[in-house]
Each structure stands twice: as structure tokens, then as C-alpha cells.
Amino acid sequence: MGIPLQQQLNLSATEYGILLAAPIFSGALLRIPFGILADRISSRRLWLYQMLAVLPALLLLPLVSSYSGYLWLGLWFGISGVSFTFGVRYVSCWFASSRQGRALGLFGVGNAGVAITFVLVPLAIHVLGWQWVGPLYAAGMLLITLLFALLSPAEPAQAYNNAPALSLRQLAGDARIWRFSLYYYFVFGSFLALLLWLPQYYMQAYEMSAQQAMAFTLFFVTTSSMVRALGGWFADRYGARAVNWSVFWVCIVCLFFLSYPPTTLIVHGLEKDVQLEIAINVWWFTLLIFVIGVAQGFGRASVYKVIHDYYPHHMGSAGGFVAAIGALGGCTLPILFGLAQDALGIVTGCFMILYGVLALCMITMFFANQAAQYQQKLAAAHAANFLSDEDNPV
């Protein structure tokens, strides 16, 4: 919806970023309290209520025409973001720890619904008209709600009897939760930001039509979503930490090239000047974006695998907190993209922002791994009676 609205309302890059961020912002904030709630009562029942709550916003979509109206409606649409938190809590009830990566990875393939939207909305506008998009999606949401209510089983009886739920204070005071949240801020938050920003980027940087830009973005979204199941399998097989570290290295190399703006260099030679053009054409750009999308798909699966390793009985609260911080990336990064573009005046400012975020993730992960290895060696030393009797107080 963003591209036609930007043209219709004559929005700046910053206003456009805020518009895209609105539904993701409300969805991110709601994931924390509802994630805690999902550890205490049926996530299946909460999921049904959440789907019903989105229906009025979809039906009101044809009636809105102002920028402020779209912002408020966007905040309402954000309720749909809580579905991921409910789904993670619900799906994790059914599988052993050794299969959580694959199970949650397959559940995460649902991100491909975005790809369906990239195809369905233009088709609906062409056949039925813009005013039917909201009601069409409301009908689809109602159908899915009815099918889920009729066909989905209730959670196992022991799903909510294993451990007391974590409070917001406990979650906010856990450094490990914040570290996982930072990882997810990049692998999920930047995925959200890119799928919203790429159509405009293709149109600005490569002078594409809206239809061409949407097609290239569709390729990015589809591939990144579909490999998530494979990423979960890799996390189960080789370890989530190894997958995360590999994902970060792949992405930072790609972002290094994407961050470099189109440049013209003039070398003053002895007899004449030599002009060098440095730029990435659309096909190299798409290849690098494809690699980043695949890596992010792997990373989104591996982060939730490692969360289950540490918080197997608190996937609602811990998973909801991490998902909230990750989703905040989806609403803050488009705004930062717009600010960077308005301030620097170059189209690659968005990738400079992502490069900085990823560098912070990698530094944090390096020192966290060093601290974990130190604690393991210290525990092994104590277990082997490393300290002498005089040094080891009883």
C-alpha cells in the first residue's frame, strides 16, 4: 500500500517511513504483554481473539483518505503482529527440543504470506478496485479464523504446568534475552524494513516501474521466507550459535558492497583525465539482496531455536519479548532509512544503517561467546578441584 499512498499524499521519505512503521510499532509493543499472557492461558484461544480483532480495521480501510487516518488504521493493523507470538507458544508445545528448530522454522514459513499479498493486492485492485482490498482480506481472515477454530487441537494438558510464567521485570533484567533480541532485531527487523523499503529503492536507484519493483521485492520476500524451515533444520543439526555466526558474516560482506554509493572518480593523468564509474547494477544488487534474504531466513529460525534451548517453558514470554524487539527493527529502521536518505541525499544510506546495526550484533555476540567460554572453563576448573584446599573455602 505504501507506494500509491506516498504518491497520493505527497509524502517525504521520513513521512513514508513513519507510515510503514505504524503497524509494526503497535504489533511490537503488544507482543510483550500478550506473550506473557500466552504462558498463562491458552495461546490457541488468544490467537482466535486476535484474528477477530483485526477484522474491523480491514473493513474500515476503504473509508480512510488522510495521512493521520492511515496512521491510526496502521496502528490497529499491528494487532496482527501478535499472531507470531501466539503461534510460537502454540507450536512449541508439540515438539521435543531436538526438533524445535525444524518445527518453528516451518511455522515461520508463514512469512511467505507477504509474498502472496504482493501478488494478490495488485490483482484485486485491477479486477475489483482499491475499495475492495480491505473487505477481501477481511473475508479471508474470517475464513482462516473459522478453519483454525474447527481444525486446530487444544494444547497438551501439561503445556501450562511446567514452570511459573516470567514477569516483565524478569525479562527486562535478563542480559541473555536482550542479546537474543539484538540478534533478532537484525535478522527479522531488517527483513521487515527491507520488504517495505525495497520497492521504493528499486524505483529510485534503477528507475523501475512500480510493477517491476514489486516483482523484484517479491523474489526477495519469497526466498527469505521459504528457507526458514531449512534454517531450522541446520540449527538442529549444527547448533543455533554456529548458524547465527555464519549468517552475520555472510550479511556483513554483502552489506559492505551495498553500502557503497554510486561514485564517479576522476584520475588526473599525465596527458588526460581518467573517469571511473563505481556502481552496482541491478542484477548484482538483486543477487546480494537474495543472499542477505536467505541468510536472514536461516537466522530467524536459529534465533528461536536458541531461545527454546534456554527457555523451553517460556516461549510465550521470552519469545514474545525477543519478537517485540525484532519487530521494533521493522518500524525504527524504515524511519532511520528515511532520515539517512533525507540527510545524506544518497540512496544507499539504508544499507549503511544496516551495516552499523550488524556490526553491533557481531561485537555483542563475540564478547558474549567469550564470556560463556570463560564460565565453562571456570566451572570445569572447579569440578576438577582446580583450587587448592587453602584457596577453596568450605
Whether residue 256 is contained in a domain is answered as yes
Phi-psi region of 72 (alpha: psi -120 to 50; beta: other; left: phi over 0): alpha
Long-range contacts for 363-369 (Cβ within 8 Å, ≥24 apart)? 364/179, 364/182, 365/179, 365/183, 365/244, 365/245, 365/248, 368/179, 369/241
By DSSP bridging, strand 273-278 and strand 263-268 are antiparallel
pLDDT computed for residue 380 by the predictor? 76
At 88, which CATH number? 1.20.1250.20
262 has a pLDDT exceeding 50:
yes
Whether residue 393 is contained in a domain is answered as no
Residue 391, burial from CB neighbour count under 10 angstroms (0-12, 13-18, 19+) = exposed
pLDDT computed for residue 119 by the predictor? 80
389 has a pLDDT exceeding 50:
no
pLDDT computed for residue 148 by the predictor? 94
Whether residue 83 is contained in a domain is answered as yes
Whether residue 389 is contained in a domain is answered as no
Average pLDDT over residues 71-83: 90
Average pLDDT over residues 296-311: 88
Over residues 358-384, the pLDDT tens digits come to 998 888 878 877 777 777 777 777 777
Whether residue 131 is contained in a domain is answered as yes
What's the pLDDT band for 17 if we cut at 50, 70, 90? confident
Highest mean pLDDT among 33-37, 129-133, 157-161, 288-292: 288-292
Q: Which domain holds residue 378?
A: 2-155+166-383
Whether residue 161 is contained in a domain is answered as no
Q: How far apart are CA 229 and CA 240, in angstroms?
A: 13
161 has a pLDDT exceeding 80:
no
214 has a pLDDT exceeding 90:
no
301 has a pLDDT exceeding 80:
yes
Q: Report in angstroms the alpha-carbon separations of 169 from 90, 166, 177, 204.
A: 24, 8, 12, 44
Q: Please report, to the nearest 10 degrees, the dihedral formed by the alpha carbons of residues 321, 322, 324, 326 taken in order.
A: 170
Average pLDDT over residues 52-73: 90
Backbone phi and psi for residue 361, each to the nearest 5 degrees, phi listed first: -60, -45
Q: How far apart are CA 116 and CA 109, in angstroms?
A: 12
Whether residue 391 is contained in a domain is answered as no
Average pLDDT of every residue of the chain: 85
User: What is the count of structural domains for the chain?
Assistant: 1
Whether residue 141 is contained in a domain is answered as yes
pLDDT computed for residue 394 by the predictor? 44
